[in-house]
Amino acid sequence: MCALNLGASRIALLPVAALAGDCYPWLDLALDQSNLPRRYSVCGHRTPALITSREQQRKELMTNHSPRRLSISLMPLVLAIAATCTHSAVGQSPEVQQKVAELKAAMAQNKQALFQYSWVEQDTISLKGEQKKQEQFQVRLGPDGKPQKTPIDQSAPPPSTGRNGRLKQHVVEKKKEEYKDYADSIKALVQQYVPPDKDALDQARQKGNITASPEADTPGQFKLVITNYIKPGDNMTLVVDKATKSLVSLTIATYLTDPKDAVTVSVQFAAAPGGPNHVASQTINGVSKQLTIAVQNSNYQKV
């Protein structure tokens, strides 16, 4: 049975059926909201000094109030408490707890293996479907476990000549600068989700924000759907291989500072030959500005 503490009083959560019916149990909850001395608790035992006062108030309530009216007025409180108890129970689901623990263990082991590798990352930024920028980086995990990127030299396009050429180049550079901050903000946001953080996963599980279900499209896989992971109202779906407990794919629906400034992410994972699982490709969409960042990781080699 759940209970709610309000000040010095303690209110027991009575069965909804008792509250809804014309019977006496509803009075125990109603009387606890009356002016009885604070040392009386509905979850404790009556004391002889209070019995007379208790019975008098019971008669007054039976005379002046309909049980059904009181039960209706108290119903929102009961439902709120019941929802809280149910939410807590979901957060402690043994199935979800086991799946999250297995995923965390696999991710930790995989991350340790990635420290021994370097790879090439290619980022392509497009605006309204038109490619604007492409960069390549040599990547390794640093001591803090975060990727350290070194730009790979690429041949720069020849400078434009003539007045028209210079003017066009100026417009292009201004446009790039305009969306650079936006693209950087999106990248920083996505880094909070990919790869999933073990502590954030634990917090989501404890709050009851994770549900598990089989992957409908592919046998041998299951899904973990997480809500309110980093921001209120966001959503992240992890598809996990049952045998290896490793990530297969990941999708995210989130936003920057305003839910109207939506950001969606689709991530595919793959295993390096004889090596660890890693992000193979990543597509990030800044919906409001129609900006897309496509990330490709390749050439994994031991160092």
Same domain, yes or no: 43 and 190: no
pLDDT at 73: 53
Same domain, yes or no: 102 and 135: yes
156 pLDDT tier (thresholds 50, 70, 90)? low
Last residue of a domain, one of 23, 57, 91: 91
Same domain, yes or no: 253 and 236: yes
Mean pLDDT score, 123-131: 94
Query: Contact 250/236 with Cβ under 8 angstroms?
Result: yes
Judge residue 171's burial from the number of C-beta atoms within 10 Å of its C-beta, 0-12 exposed, 13-18 middle, 19 or more buried.
exposed
Same domain, yes or no: 182 and 112: yes
CATH code of residue 224:
2.50.20
Same domain, yes or no: 264 and 123: yes
- Give SS3 for 37: coil
Last residue of a domain, one of 91, 125, 159: 91
- Give SS3 for 275: coil
Same domain, yes or no: 141 and 288: yes
Same domain, yes or no: 150 and 18: no
Same domain, yes or no: 233 and 120: yes
Three-class HEC string of 165-226:
HHHHHHHHHHHHHHHHHHHHHHHHHHCCCCCCCHHHHHHHHHCCCEEEEECCCCCCEEEEEE
| Cβ neighbours of 206 (radius 10 Å) | 13
74-91 per-position pLDDT tens digit? 555 545 455 444 444 444
Same domain, yes or no: 270 and 138: yes
List residues bridging with 227 in a β-sheet: 235
Host domain of residue 232 = 94-302
250 pLDDT tier (thresholds 50, 70, 90)? very high
Query: Which position has the higher pLDDT, 159 or 71?
Result: 159
Same domain, yes or no: 123 and 213: yes
Last residue of a domain, one of 91, 126, 154: 91
Looking at 53-57, 168-172, 244-248, 290-294, which range is the least confident one?
A: 53-57
Number of domains forming the structure of the chain? 2
Query: Which position has the higher pLDDT, 292 or 219?
Result: 292
Same domain, yes or no: 145 and 60: no
Intra-chain end-to-end CA distance of the chain, in Å: 58
14-41 per-position pLDDT tens digit? 333 333 333 334 334 444 444 444 443 4
pLDDT at 74: 52
Mean pLDDT score, 157-177: 65
The tally of CA atoms less than 13 A away on the side-chain side of residue 17 is 0
In angstroms, the CA 135 to CA 151 distance is: 8
Looking at 145-159, 191-205, 288-302, which range is the least confident one?
A: 145-159
Judge residue 55's burial from the number of C-beta atoms within 10 Å of its C-beta, 0-12 exposed, 13-18 middle, 19 or more buried.
exposed
Same domain, yes or no: 122 and 217: yes
Structure tokens at 72: 């209706």
